[in-house]
A and B are shown apart, each in its own frame.
Chain A
Amino acid sequence: NAGVTQTPKFQVLKTGQSMTLQCAQDMNHEYMSWYRQDPGMGLRLIHYSVGAGITDQGEVPNGYNVSRSTTEDFPLRLLSAAPSQTSVYFCASSPTGSSYNSPLHFGNGTRLTVT
Chain B
Amino acid sequence: GQQVMQIPQYQHVQEGEDFTTYCNSSTTLSNIQWYKQRPGGHPVFLIQLVKSGEVKKQKRLTFQFGEAKKNSSLHITATQTTDVGTYFCAGPKSSNTGKLIFGQGTTLQVKP
With A99-B33, A106-B44 in contact, do A42 and B50 touch (Cβ < 8 Å)?
no
CA distance A108 to B98 in the complex (A): 22
Cβ B42 vs Cβ A90 within 8 A: yes
Q: How many A-B contacts if CB must be within 8 Å?
A: 67
Decide yes or no whether A77 CB sits under 8 A from chain B: no
CA distance A92 to B33 in the complex (A): 14
Chain B interface, DSSP helix/strand/loop, else mixed: strand
With A103-B48, A107-B42 in contact, do A45 and B100 touch (Cβ < 8 Å)?
yes
Interface centre among A35, A43, A100, A107 (most CB of B within 10 A): A43
Cβ B100 vs Cβ A100 within 8 A: no
Cβ A100 vs Cβ B30 within 8 A: yes
Interface residues of B (CB under 8 A from A): 6, 9, 30-31, 33, 35, 41-45, 48, 50, 88, 90-92, 97-105
Q: Name 20 extra pairs, CB < 8 A, besides A42-B88, A99-B100.
A: A40-B104, A42-B102, A42-B103, A42-B104, A43-B43, A43-B90, A43-B105, A48-B99, A50-B98, A90-B43, A98-B98, A99-B91, A99-B98, A101-B48, A103-B48, A104-B33, A104-B35, A104-B90, A106-B43, A109-B42
